[in-house]
Amino acid sequence: MIRLLAAASAAALFAVLRLTTPSVVVVWVGLLGLALAAVAIVARWPWAATASGVVFLVGYALGLQLERRAVEPGAALGLGLALLLLLGAVDLARRAGGATVHGPVVGATLARWIGLAAGSFLAGTLAMALAAAVAGTLPVMASPLLAAAGGLGSVLVLVALFRRAG
Amino acid sequence: MTGRLTPLALSILAVAAWAVSLGVLAARPELFLAALPGLLVLATLARPVPIPRCAIAHRVSGDRLFEGGTVTVTVTVLARSPVALVELLGPLPPGAELRSGRHRAMMALRAGDAVEWSYELRFPRRGVHDLGTIAVRTRDRLGLRGWEHRHVTPTTVRVYPRIVPLRSLPRPIRTQPSVGDYVSSALGEGIEPGDVRQFAPGDRIRHVNWRASLRLGQLYVTERHRERNADVVLMLDTLAEVGAPPETTLDQGVRAAASLATAYLARKDRVGLITYGGVMSWVRPGSGATQYERLVDALVRVDVVFTYVAKDLLRVPPRVLSPQALVIAITPLLDPRFAKAVLDLAARGFDLVVLVVSPVEVTRAALAGSPADDLACRLWALERRSDLAGLRRHGLPVLEWRPPEPLEAVLVGGRRRRVRLASAG
């Protein structure tokens, strides 16, 4: 059941890539991501799931660069959620492997992911609306620097959170 | 209890960081959106969460068993607060096998929930096993933070060597003063009739032999042989072993020693034990149920300890290795130092029996069984036959036991041989 969930997430990630662009290069990158995800699911190796997630992200970025389409927030959020689901499902499968499972472990985990998906869509919609409002006021020349600063800031905040959490 | 971030949190951080970095490089907002669910999950780390609390108790169905026996480990978990995920790793000591169930469990509990989980362990080999530690790992709702601790309740399981009932045992030449099952040549109180002699003052009326008295016209009494016990010392060779556990030559030797000890103790004999190896240890001869416990406790812990030093049996106190005792040396005869020690005992006039656990059969059972292996085993068996003949030439009664043949069959054959030797010389 848990591994089926992980397999479904990997398939969804590949589908997002395939829908983004029909480019052969991106499809090959997607197949590499699928292979890594298959290794992670079969062998219950979390590092392979992380590597697969990164490969899918690189493929997605490549697809976006090749196509230069208008922003599609739904597909991007779906990709992010599928990535999270893949990582979480492989981690849970590793823990549940060879163990007796008591209580609604999988059901509770699924419920949390569904809640997270709803929250993410809400946050994504809000973020996009906010970005659209702010975009008009920002100088064009400064926007790459602001984006980099924002990225760096978010990573620093995460590091601070990690150090605090242990 | 130690709290730390889980590998899942690090994976999410890595993927989110990649998404943000690629978003900056590619100048595409979709990648920031892709990072958003991960960032939202990681943002929950800012919120302090209470440590999930659960009480754990565990019990083991038995603390003593024989090889091949099973015990059931039952673990009870009581959640004192909501526990999103708790992982438990029950004890599975080396050498034990899972017979049913699993020794790992994963649970999601609400406050006040109690869950019982059990599994069965089989112990194919003797030993003392610790079943008292359970590793507990709890996680928060999203699996980003984990807390680990060990629940320890001292619980030890002793696995005793398998015992086979033995009826034919090597008979000791010398007996001890205490009452036992052997008919002594000395006369006194007993059951076995001895001489008939004239009645003397002090003789009991119930000892009068009425048939002889009527025939001879005077009172005659029947004297009886005393029944005595004996000291038996089991000397176990722990210098070397061959074969695959749980059927190594030492395992077989320990089983033989335990069976012999049980049978001799049942005959009211005093039984002692000497383990002759890298570490030499002994148990003083004694009788009764307590002595049985002492002997099997010592046998359970027996293991091969390699040494270059040849141990001298003179170190063993005479109260352990009494000159009156029957010494049964149990050995695979893999190390010549044990054969030398046995010959030394024989030269000192000990009543000695050598029970040789054949390493050839044990090794053959552990091998794949190729023609080359078979040939090597046959050559080895020939070589060993010559070695055993050498020991027999010294006048030692040598019994060769080839497991899985029954030990009883070997002892019956050995008994006949000893009788013949005694009558011959």
Whether residue B20 and residue A104 make contact (CB cut-off 8 A), yes or no, is no
Nearest to B7 among A46, A84, A151 (CB): A46
A-chain residues near B98 (CB < 8 A) = none
- Return the minimum-mean-pLDDT range out of B107-111, B172-176, B394-398: B172-176
A120 and A78 in a common domain: no
pTM for the model stands at 0.76
A70 and A114 in a common domain: no
User: pLDDT band at residue B287, thresholds of 50, 70 and 90?
Assistant: very high
Whether residue A144 and residue B27 make contact (CB cut-off 8 A), yes or no, is yes
- d(C-alpha B306, C-alpha B238), whole Å: 9
User: pLDDT band at residue A83, thresholds of 50, 70 and 90?
Assistant: very high
A142 and A76 in a common domain: no
Report yes or no: A1 at the B interface, CB cutoff 8 Å: no
Nearest to A98 among B38, B102, B108 (CB): B102
**B85 has pLDDT over 50:** yes
**B415 has pLDDT over 70:** no
**A23 has pLDDT over 90:** no
**B273 has pLDDT over 50:** yes
**A37 has pLDDT over 50:** yes
In one-letter notation, the amino acid at residue B222 is T
Among the listed residues B56, B306, B23, the one whose alpha carbon sits nearest the alpha carbon of residue A58: B23
Collect all residues with Cβ–Cβ distance below 8 Å to B79 and sequence separation of at least 6: B52, B53, B54, B86, B109, B110, B111, B112, B113, B114
A-chain residues near B85 (CB < 8 A) = 95, 105
How do strand B114-123 and strand B69-79 relate by DSSP bridges?
antiparallel
For chain B, the straight-line distance linking the first and the last C-alpha, in angstroms and rounded, comes to 75
Structure tokens belonging to residue B249: 């030559």
Nearest to B11 among A49, A117, A123 (CB): A49
Nearest to A61 among B16, B22, B39 (CB): B22
Instruction: Give me the pLDDT at residue B417, please.
Output: 57
**B424 has pLDDT over 50:** no
B121 burial type by CB count under 10 A (0-12 exposed, 13-18 middle, 19+ buried): buried
- The total of structural domains in chain A comes to 2
Q: Write out A86-132 in H/E/C secondary structure.
A: HHHHHHHHHHHCCEEEECCHHHHHHHHHHHHHHHHHHHHHHHHHHHH
A79 and A3 in a common domain: yes
Closest CA in chain B for residue A160: B46
- d(C-alpha A11, C-alpha A14), whole Å: 5
A1 and A13 in a common domain: yes
**B271 has pLDDT over 50:** yes
Among the listed residues B152, B134, B45, B38, the one whose alpha carbon sits nearest the alpha carbon of residue B86: B134
**Which of A70, A100, A130 is a domain's end point?**
A100
Whether residue B43 and residue A166 make contact (CB cut-off 8 A), yes or no, is no
A-chain residues near B37 (CB < 8 A) = 77, 80-81, 83-84, 116-117, 120
A122 and A56 in a common domain: no
A88 and A38 in a common domain: yes
Whether residue B33 and residue A124 make contact (CB cut-off 8 A), yes or no, is yes
- Taking only residues 121 to 140 of chain A, the set having a beta carbon closer than 8 angstroms to any beta carbon of chain B reads 123-124, 127-128, 131
Instruction: Give me the pLDDT at residue B425, please.
Output: 31
For A143-155, the pLDDT digits (tens) are 778 878 887 887 7
Mean pLDDT of the B234-245 span: 92
A61 and A12 in a common domain: yes
Instruction: Give me the pLDDT at residue B257, please.
Output: 96
User: pLDDT band at residue B421, thresholds of 50, 70 and 90?
Assistant: very low
Report yes or no: A64 at the B interface, CB cutoff 8 Å: yes
A78 and A130 in a common domain: no
For chain A, the straight-line distance linking the first and the last C-alpha, in angstroms and rounded, comes to 32
Whether residue A99 and residue B14 make contact (CB cut-off 8 A), yes or no, is no
- Four-point Cα dihedral A136, A142, A144, A150, nearest 10: -80
ipTM for the whole complex: 0.88
**Which of A48, A73, A100 is a domain's end point?**
A100
For B209-239, the pLDDT digits (tens) are 999 999 999 999 998 888 788 899 999 999 9
Whether residue A64 and residue B25 make contact (CB cut-off 8 A), yes or no, is no
A148 and A67 in a common domain: no
Instruction: Give me the pLDDT at residue B1, please.
Output: 63
Whether residue A120 and residue B8 make contact (CB cut-off 8 A), yes or no, is no
Among the listed residues A87, A103, A89, the one whose alpha carbon sits nearest the alpha carbon of residue B54: A103
Closest CA in chain B for residue A163: B5
Min distance B35 CA to chain A CA atoms (Å): 6
Report yes or no: B73 at the A interface, CB cutoff 8 Å: no
Nearest to A123 among B19, B29, B40 (CB): B40
CA distances from B122 to A21, B61, B281, B307 (A): 58, 12, 29, 32
Number of alpha carbons in the 13 Å side-chain half-sphere of residue B141: 18
User: pLDDT band at residue B420, thresholds of 50, 70 and 90?
Assistant: very low
**B416 has pLDDT over 90:** no
Instruction: Give me the pLDDT at residue B352, please.
Output: 93
Among the listed residues B317, B233, B303, B311, the one whose alpha carbon sits nearest the alpha carbon of residue B273: B233
Total Cβ atoms within 10 A of residue A166: 13
Q: Indicate the helix (H) or strand (E) that contains B363.
A: helix B359-366
Q: What angle do CA A10, A16, A22 make, to 5 degrees?
A: 120
Mean pLDDT of the A133-141 span: 76
Report yes or no: A14 at the B interface, CB cutoff 8 Å: no
Q: What share of chain B has pLDDT > 90, as a percent? A: 50
Residue that wins the pLDDT comparison between B46 and B210: B210
User: pLDDT band at residue B423, thresholds of 50, 70 and 90?
Assistant: very low
For B310-351, the pLDDT digits (tens) are 778 888 888 889 888 999 999 999 999 999 999 999 998 899
Q: What angle do CA A45, A48, A52 make, to 5 degrees?
A: 145
Among the listed residues A4, A117, A68, A53, the one whose alpha carbon sits nearest the alpha carbon of residue B37: A117
Mean pLDDT of the B394-410 span: 91
A13 and A55 in a common domain: yes
A88 and A151 in a common domain: no
**Whole domain around residue A142: which residue ranges?**
103-166
Contact A84, A13 (CB under 8 A): no
Collect all residues with Cβ–Cβ distance below 8 Å to A125 and sequence separation of at least 6: A73
**A32 has pLDDT over 90:** yes
Contact B123, B68 (CB under 8 A): yes
**Which of A62, A84, A100 is a domain's end point?**
A100
**Which of B1, B6, B11 to mutate to test binding with chain A, by most A CBs within 10 Å of its CB?**
B11
